[in-house]
Amino acid sequence: MKILVTGGAGFIGSHTTVELLNSNYEIVMIDNFSNSNKEVLNKIKIITQKDFVFYEGDVQDNILLEKIFSEHNIDVVIHFAGYKAVGESVKQPLKYYENNLYSTIELCQMMEKYKVKKLVFSSSATVYGQPDKLPIKEDSKLMTTNPYGTTKLMIENILKDLAVSDETWSIAILRYFNPIGAHESGLIGENPKDIPNNLMPYIMKVATKELDNLNIFGNDYNTHDGTGVRDYIHVVDLAKGHLKACEKVLKSNGIDAYNLGTGTGYSVLDLVNTFMKVNQVNIPYKIIDRRPGDIASCYADNSYAKEKLNFEATKTIEDMCRDAFNFIKNS
Ligand code: UFG
């Protein structure tokens, strides 16, 4: 079984590639390293002791895409490639709309041409915007609060139209909650080049003393300790969810969306305190104003993924904190 992984050198793509190779799938990967590092490719090979085919380039490059589809009999495509920084998307919306939408449209056109109609798409819990009800179910109202989120929702809609137009498509939309952690080998993980926007990468930079202290965005939310609550999921669990989604698209047609989360919410302070305890490091922090656009709480109802994909996350918040720190100490 041959899988094309777009954006496979990124945080979630690399962990998913490891799980796929471990399960004996053949991998063809495309990545332009816009937010990743070439060294990741070797690290994947070291972890798995397996090889894969790699193309350096952009998913929007039609000539390259045609070459890939003509050289390989692809069975399933997992589409990770895309820009993902919320703040940047507010400042440069056109960059986000162009890249995320065009690449997906061109990819789907090529898939159609080569009659490869099985797709797993990286979406995000950001498509729920400000949720009315917790935990969040897949049939909740969809709305977005920033251009990045809007690209995800627009792509979901494009894929739905595609599945309606031709019932031989088989598409799984995966709505990720907050992926953190790293592979237990410590060889791959998340290490943003710039000052991180997300909580765990920021905590890691404070733990290694690259940054002085963490700023906690508000402690006056309606949560158990006043800080924001999120559904953190270990990236290796998330990666395993993609294998389940591949199995699903291989055996059924149509389109469906699945939450990938643990179903449990932890606050910023829960995560910081667990990180300090598990890793025996100090994370100095200051409470500052709320970050505009943030919501108080967001966590998944994961029963649909359990029922339809047979997927359930097993790793704990302690595992996430330990593996994240282990990776950053190694890098
Ligand atoms: N936070 C801080 N300080 C920081 C960074 C974050 O206190 O330096 C807080 C936030 O206020 C929030 C929590 O930590 O309460 C998590 O924030 P993240 O930025 O790590 O994650 P978000 O939930 O805001 O957003 C993430 C991804 C989005 C995705 C969304 C899906 O960044 O791409 O989850 O729910 F869309």
| First and final C-alpha spacing in the chain | 33
Mean pLDDT, rounded, for 172-196? 95
Residue 220 token pair: 């006056």
Amino acid occupying residue 184: E
Amino acid occupying residue 153: L
Residue 176 token pair: 């990720």
Provide CB contacts within 8 A for 92, sequence distance 6+: none
- Pick the closest to residue 77 from 310, 249, 308 (CA basis): 249
- The dihedral region occupied by 210, where left means phi > 0, alpha psi between -120 and 50, and beta the remainder, is alpha
In angstroms, rounded to a whole number, what is the distance separating the alpha carbons of residues 118 and 102? 19
Going from the Cα of 199 to the center of ligand 1, the distance in angstroms, rounded, reads 6
Q: Which atom of ligand 1 is found nearest the CA of 290?
A: 11
Report whether pLDDT(191) > 90: no
How many whole angstroms from its chain centre is CA 194? 19
Ramachandran angles phi, psi of 65, nearest 5°:
-60, -40
Confidence band (pLDDT; 50, 70, 90) for 33? very high
In this predicted structure, what is the pLDDT of residue 282? Answer: 97
For the chain, give every domain's residue range. 2-183+233-261+303-313
233 Cβ below 6 A of ligand 1: no
pLDDT tens column, 205-229? 999 999 999 999 999 999 999 999 9
**Residue 216 β-bridge partners:** 287
Confidence band (pLDDT; 50, 70, 90) for 163? very high
CATH architecture of structural domain 2-183+233-261+303-313: 3-Layer(aba) Sandwich (3.40)
pLDDT tens column, 86-145? 999 999 999 999 999 999 999 999 999 999 999 999 999 999 999 999 999 999 999 999
Confidence band (pLDDT; 50, 70, 90) for 192? confident
291 Cβ below 6 A of ligand 1: yes
In this predicted structure, what is the pLDDT of residue 76? Answer: 98
Which residues participate in catalysis according to the annotation? 148
In this predicted structure, what is the pLDDT of residue 331? Answer: 86
> For the whole model, what pTM was predicted?
0.98
In angstroms, rounded to a whole number, what is the distance separating the alpha carbons of residues 199 and 4? 30
* CB-based contact 10:18 (threshold 8 Å): no
* CB-based contact 260:311 (threshold 8 Å): yes
pLDDT tens column, 229-251? 999 999 999 999 999 999 999 99
199 Cβ below 6 A of ligand 1: yes
202 Cβ below 6 A of ligand 1: yes
198 Cβ below 6 A of ligand 1: yes
Question: Mutate which of 178, 206, 288 to test ligand 1's pocket (most atoms within 8 Å of Cβ)?
Answer: 178
Q: Ligand 1 atom 11: the closest Cα is on which residue? A: 217
In this predicted structure, what is the pLDDT of residue 300? Answer: 98
Tally of CB atoms within 10 A around 197:
14
Q: Which atom of ligand 1 is found nearest the CA of 271?
A: 14
Q: What is the mean pLDDT of the chain?
A: 97
Going from the Cα of 277 to the center of ligand 1, the distance in angstroms, rounded, reads 21
According to DSSP H, which parts of the chain are helical? 11-22, 39-48, 62-71, 86-91, 93-96, 102-113, 147-165, 199-207, 235-251, 268-279, 303-309, 317-330
